[in-house]
Homo-oligomer: A and B are copies of this chain.
């Protein structure tokens, strides 16, 4: 299978959103995706650029993405967070995940970041095995915490 890894363009955002939805379905959160193509275009290509994205492009369209942005560690310094590494289910096992991750790590190395971080579901053993093979550490004692939009509003109402 022939593919090209390249930077995402505005025209790709519909297919990027489709892959985000496909991953949400896989993660048993089919109704969690609230953003729209318009949001992705504004947030990825507007005045306040909030993420970068590589896509795996084929004759059949975009079959994988790696979407990331800057973070900061008060222990290590500048970092990158890989928000989504997605390969369409029909393309799994084709080396696309590695090709996309390669680009992100090379980008991080060029930028001199001290860490690349991401998050994984603890039952997603194929993903965990893949990441560990790449040299990443899965920190099983660190949990992710979210205060969601409704939680923010409730919090604000409670402090008056």
Contacts and interface: CB of A to CB of B under 8 A. Distances in A.
Given A75-B24, A84-B74, A105 B144 contact: no
- The quantity of this chain's copies bound in the complex is 2
A105 B35 contact: no
| Interface footprint category on A | 35 or more
Interface stretch (A4-12, A55-63, A108-116): A108-116
Contacts of A131: 145
Secondary structure of the A contact surface, majority rule: mixed
B156 A105 contact: yes
Given A69-B71, A74-B84, A153-B109, A116 B39 contact: no
A68 to B, nearest CB: 9
